[in-house]
Each structure stands twice: as structure tokens, then as C-alpha cells.
Chains A and B, each alone.
Chain A
Amino acid sequence: MSITYSTHAYTPGLRVSWCTTIRKERRLPLPGEILVKKGEEVSQDQIVARTQIPGEVQIVNAASLLEIEPEELTRYMTKKIGEKVEKDEIIAFRKGFFGLTTKQVRSPIKGKIEYFSTATGNISIRTEPTKIEIDAYIPGKILETLSNEAVVIETKAALIEGIFGIGGEKKGEVHVAVKEPLQEMLPENVNSSCKGKIIVGGATASFEAIKKAIDYGAKGLIVGGLAFKQIKEILGYEIGVAITGHESIPLTIILTEGFGKLEMAKKTFNILKTFEGYNASINGATQIRAGVIRPEIIIPIKKEECDEKEEILSGSIRPGTKVRIIRHPYFGCLGKVVDLPIEIDCVEAECSVRVAVIELQDGRRVKVPRANIELFDW
């Protein structure tokens, strides 16, 4: 076997860390007001920025209501651009011949006159803006404020990136409901103590257990895997494109390994077990396309609990690198790279690819396409 190695093999991996420095940007959808200062300590729920989203617009075809040509509209406007109006207030008015008939246009909403056009004869009225506030999501120190759009919060935390999630941001105490990472979470593992918590299952969770967790008011669920079909049962619809996070479900669910029943990686499980009882911030939002976003579990910890000497995985693989296989027939298996032959090889499907030889945890040596492994510190 060749001993020549490709020097820049790049395989993306998910971060799983006992302690790392998290820098979280909290960005407003539109420029607005930043409510905190650089260096300030903030709590999880503290509002750090707010803005206003422009109100809705309604357009009224005034010319037709007044029975005039559009270019005549200016003469009949009773309100100016920018002027406030109440719902049903008259905004344009026309007296007929000898004042015998009148035509009027009333505002369909409360708001401001935004615009009127002598080309179309339309008047647009915009409602008051809607207030949008964003909280800190994680406790920590304000590292910087970015003009009037965003703040960056820094904290020390354990971090686990999942592979797929549904549901948005949630905060709650970590509660480990199973003994082993290979165990399936069943209804008997869920009880009233799960209320408001982020539950940690093992390899998977039954539909009944998930339902029970929702009934008890749990906020999050972290498991190794779930059947892809089960996601449909939970949501009531199929997910076609992996862009999630906006589902209206009471329980945010994060899969750490993938679809199916898959043992949660021991390191992931151990971190969650160690920090049981700690407050976590989680987000199921996943976007595989156009700027990858992976679901995250952030468990803020004290500085003294933090060991930052932990090996940081770089973006390259080489002999000895710990990896996870992410495609059938070894899906989910963990191992170490033993060889990275530079020559193109052939696998069962006859695909000519660059391969990696992996020694699995059980001692077997298998050859897999390099594209089918990811860096993973197990």
C-alpha cells in the first residue's frame, strides 16, 4: 500500500468540545438600537437589541373610487404624504357638480400615507412599525457591538454541533434521561421532572416518548438519531430541503449523528452527562445549503471548569486522525485513519475515488471513499 499522502485532504466535521470560547453574533433583521455596551455582562434572557420592522401596506385605488382620471388625484387628496390617518378616516374627497354628489376614499387601516400616484391613481397607507427584540440567548460578556445592527457575546461553554435539527432557539436545564448512549429513549424514561428541560436521549427516541416529553413541557430533545419518517410524524409534513429552525413545535429536537437509530458518540454523551443540571442554549436550525448552519447545543460553564488544552481538530486528515464514517455500509462507525493512498481507487459501486483506510473501533480495517468520512474526535 502507498505511503504517499495527500497534504490537503479536507473533510468538514462537526465540533464537539468540552470547553471552547463561543462568540455569538445576535443580529437584527434591520438596523435598530443596541441596548448593551461593550464589556457588559449579560444574562441569557436579557434583551440586547431592538428594531422596528416597517408596517404592512394597503393600496387603495382612489381614482376609481372618486371616478376621476389618475392624474387628477392630487387635487382631491385630503391628507399629505407622511400624515397619520385613522382607520376609516377620509383620505381623498370629491364633490360632484353643484355639490349634489360626493365621492370619498377612506383609509382601510390605521397608519400613515406613504405614497400616492398620479399615474395609477392609487394611495398607499402603511401601518405602524412592529417592534422586534432579540435576547442574548447565551450569558456572557459583550465583546463588541456592530454599528446599530448586531452585538457579539462571548462566553466559555461546552459545545456540541448536531447534524440536523428542527425547532428554534430554546433554553433549559440539561437532563439525561438514559443511562447509555446506545439506549433508546422510551416513554418510561420521561416524567414530570422533564418540564422545561433539555432532555438527552441515547441512540433514538420512540414517538410515544417524544409525545410524552412534549406533554410534560420539555423544551428540547437531543438524540443520536431518529428515523427520517418519524420527523414527518412529528411535524405532520415531510422535510424536502434541509433548511429548518422555523418549525412551530414546542420541542426543539437535535440529532447528533443522523437519521436512523444511531448510538450517540460517547464524547457527546459524556459532555451532556457531565453537565447535567447546567443551563443550555440550543437551536435546531439547520441549513445545509448556501452557508451551512448546524444545530447547536451550548452549555455555558465557569472559567475554572474549562480545559482548553483539548485537541483542536484542524481541517485536514492524516494517519492517526480520528474520524466518523458517514455513509452506508459503515454509516456511524468511528475509527482512525491508517492510510491515505494518493492513487485513485475503486469501491464496490465502481466509483473511482480517493480512499482512506480506516481502522474501526472493533479493529476491522475498511476502505472508504474520503468523501465519506468526517473529522470527529471520539
Chain B
Amino acid sequence: MVSVHGAQMDIENLRLVLATDVGSTTTKARLFKKMENGEYRFISSGEAPTTVEKPFEDVTVGLRNAIREIEELSGYKLLADSAETRIIMPFNGKDTGVDLYVSTSSAGGGLQMIVAGVVKTMTTESSERAALGAGAIIMDSLSIDDGIPLHKKIEKLRFLRPDMILLAGGTDGGTKAHVLEMAEIIRAAEPKPRFGISYSLPVVFAGNKLAAPDVENMLKEKFFVKVTENLRPVLEIENVEPARNIIHEIFMEHVMSHAPGYEKLVKLVSVPVMPTPAGEGKMIRTIAEAYDINVLGVGLGGATTNIYSVYENKFVRSVSANLGMSYSIGNVLKSAGINNIVRWLPFEISEEELYDRIGNKMIRPTTIPQTLEDLLIEHAIAREAIRLGFQHHKSLARELKGVHRERTISDVFEQEVKETYIDMKKINMIIGTGGLLSHTPRRQQAALILIDAFQAEGIVKLTVDSAFMMPHLGVLSTVHPKAALDVLEKDCLVRLGTVIVFSGLSEKNEVIGHVEVKTEDKSYEVEVKYGEISSIPIGLNKRANIQAKPEGNFDVGGGKGKTVTTNVEGGIVGIVIDGRGRPLALPEKFEERRASLLKWFNAVNAYPITGGEIA
């Protein structure tokens, strides 16, 4: 039994569960059922445009449409026959009602936060990781030592409309002055909350515990202050979980309840609504823990690109708030540059035409590609959005290496300037989710996008979220972890296969290694040529022993020229052998590039391209 909204619920006896994600573009409903063998399975889905905006300004309209689609497809009656949206609970054991309803949400811009700390590379960076891990988008981050004059900091802050502020700074028992100065800046700027100008903006304080009473005194008149554990109690430790939990609590109690159109949703759910990226991140962590592996994940959405890493048990989420496949698609074009998008296209298109098509997707974000050309354009943009998102992620996924020099603030600590602690050759699994990756017409397309965008190295398993339900499972796992893991295993994670990458560079199309693949009944030998890609059909639920032997300057994860022997899993795409080298370079000249792209696409049967021509 667990307490859900104050009522006791028999969790062991959950028979039918409804989960939704109210996204910025689409509301996605998923229905899960406990089968006779006690296993939970995904049984139906429904989607409808999100209705947070006018004329509805009520997310439950889109919610009702999405749930009604499930009703039509599954035959279960879930909605009460009332004018107001109401979900029938509990399940009657036959065809009506559900036992649990959970939801995530990122509509209305998601959770938008400002973070503030004392030292930019120390507490502010930790605050960023805490806020991002909680599923927030960071509107701005401030530090005492960020080089911005005090009055400019105030000026920057005062016109922002965040949902929440996270303030940190100082180790426990250390100096209080600097964190109080930051509190003073917040007090002076007095930013107003995004929703409802009449309520107090929440400030979470997660800094030096000795400063907490002073911070509270300074801010309580104008803000709703919540104190939690210091996220850097000592230099060497980052303790972000308590801050993340408080952020989630406030998100539900203060932000969602004031967001227009959300009042009704808040009353419908059985457990608090979670920000979509928090749900997604929770599930990616669950996977890394369940298999004890290093995982990279990407949630490629309409407005944002979320990258998650669980590397040697360290969880980091980054969000590139303005890199997405619809609302912010123009920004991918702007940030990546048109040439970086064109380089992935095996056909000629004028710059003007490409600009217009991207612009039109931006202003009509719910449209989907009808032609192969349009699909290839979206996939090119997806590669660039993930590439840029991952670049940003690496700047957050780095070691905490504060070296104490002296007790002054501006240059007290020295942070090792290392791009990231993530070694691509040690990543065991890459997971893709989000509308585009979950819904590629052929799964091979998702596999290639992930390989190209992340520039995968070593031997990596590739998976995608089959029907975009990671956020749903993440929030479900807070109530019933087994149900979430059952569905994840059986219905959510689609095994695309495994990629074996030969890292290194060459100037000619020479042989750079060999791969032997043995299954119970078959064996394959592949000569790997530079600049080429190939696949071996090792299907779903099949495993194979492989021996990858790179030539002198090439590396498949064991070191240059070192053979790697291991057992890998197949999948829909099979085992992909990538001999294109790393860093991946595409030919400069269009004709050569086109030939390479078509060869790569055809090698894994990614697109309906016949005779080397785009249909």
C-alpha cells in the first residue's frame, strides 16, 4: 500500500495504468496492463495536439482527445461521461476505468529556472546540474565571479520570468558573505514568476547551511523560500538529489498549480506531475543501474534537445533549450549553419528552398514529412541538433576538481579544464527517444542518426524508445518500479543492434580491419574498408560472439591495433560495422558526398532509395 494524494492505494494490485505526457506539441497517452502472468505490458497509445494555448487554454482538452484515441483502439472505457474531463477509477476488472493515472509535462515551456551560485565553475555549475537533472530549462545562471558587474546582474534578473530560482554557494561552515550577496542581488532584482503575478516566486536555497537563516530572512518577504541540504557540503562532494527532490515538489505545488490550463490536470493525477525530462532521465538512470553500464541518451523534442549520460554511476542531464525539431528548428539551422545540414543530404536543393522548408516547419510545427526529401532534411537537422546538444552536454559532464589555493573568492579554486570525463569508447549503450527518433519510418534511420550524431566509438548497443514512453515509465517507476521495468524491457526499448566502430583516419579506401561474427548456427567474416559501412543480420533476441581486429592505427575500443573479443546483442538493424573512421569526415564535393551517403544508407537499407536515386 502506498499513499496517493492522501489515499491508500494497493500498488501490488494495479491492473490497468494510464500514463500521459503533455508535451509542448503533442499529448501522448499510453495504457499499461498487468497480464495474467503478472507481467506489465504496454497495450495501447493515443496522441493529440496539446491544448495549452488559446482557444482552449486547458490541457485536459488535448488529454481527452488522446485518451479517446486509446478508448477507440483498445475498447476500454477510461473517460467518464461528463462535461469535465474525469478519468474513471478504479478499474472494474472488465472494460472500464484504470487503477492509476500518472503524467509528465513539458508544455507551456516546461520548468524554467534561474540558478545562482558563488563560484561559476563550482557551486553554480553544481546548481546547473541539479536544476537540469530535475528537468528544468535554465534561463540564466549567475555567479559572484562571472565577471558581470553587480548592477548588470540585477538588470539581467529583473525582467526574467522564471518558475523558480535555485540558489547555492559556500561549503557548509564556510564563508557566508558571498552567498548572502547573491541573495541580495535576487532580492534587489525581484524577478516575478512566469505564471500569476500575485504569488511569490519560489527560491530553493541549497548552499552553506550556516547562511540559511540569513538567506531566509533576507528573501522571505518577497519570495517563497525553501531550504534544503547544501549541494556542495564539501568541495569534493556534489549532493544534488535533495535539491532535485525539492524542485520537483515545488514544480507540482507552486508552478503547475498556477500554470494556465493546468489546474484540472493537477487534480486528475494520482501522483504529482513530473517534468517530462525528469521522467525521461529517471528511466535512463534505471536502465544504467539495471544493466550496470554506461549509457548515453537523447530526448530529441520539438523545442529542446535533452542529452543524458550515466557514466561510471554519474548522472548528468543537459538541455539545449533552443535546439529542437519544430519550434526551435530554425535555431538548429542558425547554430549549425546551412552547410552542416546540407552535408547530410544526398540530393541538391537550393539554399533558399531549404531555408523556406525549415522556416515553414518552424511555424507549423505539428506537420510531418510526406516526401522522402523532407524526411531526409529532418534527419539531417536531427543529426546536427544532437551533435550540438552533445557538445553542450560534454561541458557539463566533467570532473569536480577543485583545488584549494587561498580563501578569497575570485580565484580560490582551479578547475581542471578537461572537455569531459565521457570516453566514447566506454559507452555501452545509446538510447534515442523523442518523436523523431521513436517514429522513424525505418529503425535503420534512427540507428544511423544516433551513430552519426554522437560519433559513436568502440562497441555500442543502440536502442530507441519504441513509442515514446520513457517519460511515462519514469513517472510510473516512482510508484511501481517493477511495472515500469517490465514495460521497458518488453515494449519500450527497441534493440536496434550493435555498432562496431573503427576509430582512426586514413586517406584512402584501404582495409582497416576484420570482424568475425559467430552465432549458434552461422558465422560471418567481414573485411572492413575505410569509408564504408556494412551490416550483418543478427536479429532481435539473438546474440553473437564477435572478434574485431583493427589494423595498426585503428581502434575498436581496446586500443590501437588491438583485437577485441566480446559477445553482443543483435536487433532490428543487426550488427553494424562502421569503417568510416573517427572523427567522421564527409567528402567536400557534392557528387562524392552524395555517392558516400547513398552507399551508407543502402548498406543498412535505411531509406527507400532505388538505383542510387531518391524516389
Query: A residues near B, CB below 8 A?
Result: 8, 10, 12, 30-31, 54, 56-59, 70, 114-115, 117, 119-122, 124, 126, 149, 163-164, 227-229, 231, 238-242, 258-260, 286, 288-292, 326-329, 331, 347-353, 368-369, 371-372, 374
Contacts and interface: CB of A to CB of B under 8 A. Distances in A.
Contacts of A240: 322, 328, 330-335
17 contacts: A10-B49, A31-B197, A126-B188, A164-B359, A227-B352, A227-B355, A241-B330, A289-B303, A290-B24, A290-B109, A292-B53, A327-B374, A348-B372, A349-B372, A350-B375, A350-B608, A372-B367
Nearest to B109: A290
Contacts of B312: none
Closest 10 A-B residue pairs measured CB to CB?
A: A240-B331, A228-B359, A350-B441, A290-B109, A259-B359, A349-B375, A57-B188, A289-B327, A228-B355, A292-B53
B441 to A, nearest CB: 4
Contacts of B181: 120, 122
B269 interface: no
A64 to B, nearest CB: 11
A12 B217 CA distance: 49
Given A120-B177, A350-B441, A241 B328 contact: yes
Contacts of B442: 350
Contacts of B408: none
A290 B161 CA distance: 13
B371 interface: yes
B351 interface: yes
Interface of B: 24, 48-49, 52-54, 65, 68, 107-109, 150-151, 154-155, 158, 176-177, 180-181, 184-185, 187-190, 192, 197, 214, 218, 260, 303, 322, 326-328, 330-335, 351-352, 355-360, 362-375, 439, 441-442, 608, 615
Given A10-B65, A228-B356, A163 B364 contact: yes
B355 A327 contact: no
Contacts of B328: 240-241, 289
Contacts of A288: 326-327, 362-363, 365
A91 to B, nearest CB: 16
A242 B364 CA distance: 10
Contacts of B24: 289-290
Contacts of B441: 349-352
Given A59-B184, A351-B368, 20 more contacts: A30-B197, A59-B150, A59-B151, A115-B187, A117-B180, A163-B363, A227-B355, A228-B352, A229-B352, A240-B328, A241-B327, A259-B363, A290-B108, A290-B109, A326-B367, A328-B369, A349-B368, A349-B441, A350-B608, A368-B370
Contacts of B48: 8, 10
Given A57-B188, A149-B197, A227-B356, A327 B370 contact: yes
Contacts of B330: 228, 238-242
A327 B368 contact: yes
B371 to A, nearest CB: 5
Nearest to B110: A290
Given A241-B331, A258-B363, A291 B52 contact: yes
Contact of A59 (B154, B190, B326, B615): B154
Given A163-B363, A259-B359, A288-B327, A57 B369 contact: no
A229 B351 contact: yes
A327 B367 contact: yes
A353 B368 contact: yes
Nearest to A349: B375
B177 A70 contact: yes
B448 to A, nearest CB: 15
Contact of A56 (B54, B155, B327, B372): B155
Nearest to A367: B370
Contacts of A239: 330, 334
A84 to B, nearest CB: 17
A124 B188 contact: yes
A13 to B, nearest CB: 11
B356 A259 contact: yes
Given A10-B65, A241-B327, A292-B54, A328 B374 contact: yes
Contacts of B108: 290-291
Contacts of A59: 150-151, 154, 184-185, 188
Contacts of A242: 327, 330, 362-363
A259 B358 CA distance: 9
Q: Determine chain A's interface SS by DSSP, over half rule.
A: loop
B602 to A, nearest CB: 15
B180 A328 contact: no
A119 B214 contact: yes
Contacts of B335: 240
Contacts of A352: 441
A239 B327 CA distance: 11
B184 A120 contact: yes
Contact of B363 (A8, A54, A164, A290): A164
Contacts of A347: 370-371
A369 B65 CA distance: 18
Interface core residue of B184, B332, B352, B360 (most chain A CB under 10 Å): B360
Contacts of A371: 366-368
A351 B375 contact: yes
B370 A348 contact: yes
Nearest to A348: B371
Contact of A260 (B151, B188, B356, B366): B356
B315 to A, nearest CB: 27
A289 B322 CA distance: 11
Interface core residue of A229, A286, A328, A353 (most chain B CB under 10 Å): A328
Contacts of A163: 363-364
Contacts of A368: 370
A331 B328 CA distance: 20
Contact of B371 (A54, A115, A286, A328): A328
B363 A349 contact: no
B197 A349 contact: no
B443 to A, nearest CB: 12
A4 to B, nearest CB: 11
B65 A328 contact: no
Given A327-B360, A350-B608, A259 B151 contact: no
Nearest to B373: A328
A349 B184 contact: no
B61 to A, nearest CB: 9
A10 B177 CA distance: 56
B469 to A, nearest CB: 17
Contacts of A241: 322, 327-328, 330-331, 362
A259 B355 contact: yes
B329 to A, nearest CB: 9
A149 B369 CA distance: 44
A54 B154 CA distance: 12
Nearest to A8: B65
B212 to A, nearest CB: 12
A62 to B, nearest CB: 12
Interface core residue of A31, A56, A121, A240 (most chain B CB under 10 Å): A240
Nearest to A286: B363
A76 to B, nearest CB: 18
A329 B377 CA distance: 14
A329 B65 contact: no
A331 B359 CA distance: 13
Contact of B190 (A54, A227, A327): A54
A329 to B, nearest CB: 6
Contact of A117 (B184, B358, B374): B184
B371 A372 contact: no
Contacts of B192: 30
A117 B181 CA distance: 9
Contacts of A126: 188
A231 B356 CA distance: 11
Nearest to A366: B370
A329 B177 contact: no
Given A59-B151, A289-B24, A349-B369, A115 B363 contact: no
Nearest to B328: A241
